[in-house]
């Protein structure tokens, strides 16, 4: 009788195993209407110039219960740079800065995610700018997930902050008068599917 009960318990445990396994990461696409990639750079010590990229696309594989299993890829059209000043934007598109004819995209691909708190983490990845790839670390906050009341779609939201040195990527024009350290501010929503 004990053997029969043990066998029954074992078969019940084996049947239940798939139900208790962790869920796989869920695929999301960045929502371009609710994603902002903003940069801030010192301008001659007088002020900080602020700009953004208007064309951003990306895919997120997100596991809420095991953030370290998540992954992100982002592609940004460099010609979409926008500082609200047409003459400066044209200069930023030139070979002095983004060289958009030769390098129309800048990309980011995550390599590791470290959880640092209940809703915070460090996103490690490779940033490719002007054909140069360098590691970058962003501090990320997971804001919220659920069905958006606006779009009625499954949505996740994140905020990220970080700093890069543009000269590390070969963008040296104006350094040090125009700052080398570029502060990145990223706000993003991604929708399931």
- Cα–Cα distance, 117 to 172 (Å, whole number): 36
The answer to whether 160 touches 116, Cβ cutoff 8 Å, is no
Radius of gyration of the CA atoms of the chain, in A: 22
Residues 148-162 as b/e (b if ≥16 CB within 10 A, e otherwise) read beeeeeebbbbebeb
23 has a pLDDT exceeding 80 = no
pLDDT bin (cut points 50, 70, 90) of residue 193 is confident
Q: Give the containing element (helix H, strand E) for 20.
A: helix 2-20
Confidence tier at 56 by pLDDT (50, 70, 90): very high
Take residue 163 and report the two structure tokens written for it: 């700093």
Q: pTM here?
A: 0.85
Quick check: 10 pLDDT over 80? no
Exposure string (b/e) for 71-90, b if CB count within 10 Å is 16 or more? bbebbbbbbbbebeeeebbe
Query: Does an H or E element contain 35, and which?
Result: strand 26-43
The β-bridge relationship of strands 71-77 and 132-147 is unpaired
Q: What is the pLDDT of the chain when averaged over all its residues?
A: 90
Task: Find, among 180, 177, 176, the residue nearest to 168 by Cα.
Answer: 180
161 vs 168: CA distance, rounded Å: 18
Q: Look at residue 35 and tell me whether its pLDDT is greater than 50.
A: yes
Asked if the model's pLDDT at residue 108 lies above 60, the reply is yes
Separation of alpha carbons 164 and 109, rounded Å? 15
Q: Are 98 and 81 in contact (CB under 8 A)?
A: yes
């Amino acid at each position: 009788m004990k053997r029969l009960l043990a066998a029954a318990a074992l078969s019940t445990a084996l049947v239940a195993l798939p139900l208790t396994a962790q869920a796989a990461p869920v695929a999301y696409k960045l929502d371009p209407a609710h994603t902002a990639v903003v940069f801030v750079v010192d301008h001659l010590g007088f002020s900080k110039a602020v700009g953004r990229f208007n064309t951003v696309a990306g895919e997120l594989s997100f596991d809420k219960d095991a953030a370290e299993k998540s992954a992100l890829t982002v592609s940004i059209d460099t010609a979409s740079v926008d500082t609200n000043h047409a003459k400066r934007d044209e200069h930023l598109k030139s070979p002095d800065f983004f060289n958009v004819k030769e390098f129309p995209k800048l990309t980011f691909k995550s390599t590791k995610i470290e959880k640092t708190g209940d809703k915070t983490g460090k996103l490690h990845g490779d940033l490719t700018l002007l054909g140069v790839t360098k590691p970058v670390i962003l501090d990320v906050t997971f804001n919220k997930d659920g069905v958006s009341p606006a779009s009625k779609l499954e949505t996740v939201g994140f905020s990220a902050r970080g700093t890069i040195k543009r000269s590390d990527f070969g963008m040296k024009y104006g350094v040090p008068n125009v700052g080398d350290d570029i502060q990145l501010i990223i706000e993003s929503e991604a929708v399931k599917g």
